[in-house]
């Protein structure tokens, strides 16, 4: 499989998990799939493979003492860029999983945070943190879960 094919497969691989969390958050299958670490195993294995084939003496030196210009040069290599992209996909999905599981536990509305997380992980996390703070400020403890259960 070429680097481009690995990149494309990884992009498509994460989409069903995002769709489940965003479109079907209350479905029992969604809950079982997202509670599992299984979606992360193929991503982590792909990352490991790409990481290994991307390392050479030059890249190892650059990663051991990162300088912005050296990293920019390294990311011009498709293998390194694909490795970095799989890193983003994995951690964004893991962050989305955290947001989803918190929503299931607390009842806090998170669709906007999950969508943001899909496209820009840290912004989705920030959105969730802010939503959590605002929700807790305006709803006494326990009222959010009760509210979300009555509207489902």
Q: How far is CA 38 from CA 4, 17, 44, in A?
A: 24, 11, 10
Q: Name residues whose C-beta falls within 8 Å of residue 57's C-beta, 6 or more positions apart in sequence.
A: none
| This model's pTM is above 0.75 | yes
φ, ψ (nearest 5 deg) of residue 150: -80, -25
User: How many domains does the chain contain in total?
Assistant: 1
Tens of pLDDT, residues 19-31:
999 999 999 999 9
Residues of the chain with pLDDT under 50: none
**In 10 A of CB 81, how many CB atoms?**
16
Return the SS3 of 74: helix
* Dist. CA 51–CA 125, nearest whole Å: 26
Q: Which domain holds residue 115?
A: 3-151
pLDDT of residue 99: 98
Both tokens of 1, joined, read 């499989």
């Amino acid at each position: 499989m070429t680097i481009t094919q690995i990149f494309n497969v990884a992009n498509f691989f994460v989409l069903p998990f995002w769709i489940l969390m965003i479109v079907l958050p209350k479905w029992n299958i969604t809950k079982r799939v997202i509670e599992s670490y299984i979606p992360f195993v193929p991503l982590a294995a792909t990352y490991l493979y790409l990481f290994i084939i991307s390392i050479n003496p030059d890249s190892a030196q650059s990663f051991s003492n990162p300088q912005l210009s050296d990293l920019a040069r390294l990311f011009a290599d498709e293998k390194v860029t694909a490795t970095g992209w799989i890193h983003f996909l994995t951690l964004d999905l893991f962050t989305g999983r955290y947001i989803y599981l918190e929503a299931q536990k607390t009842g806090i509305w998170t669709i906007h945070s999950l969508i943001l997380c899909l496209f820009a992980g840290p912004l989705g996390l920030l959105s969730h943190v802010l939503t959590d703070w605002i929700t807790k400020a305006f709803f006494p403890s326990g009222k959010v879960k009760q509210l979300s259960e009555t509207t489902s």
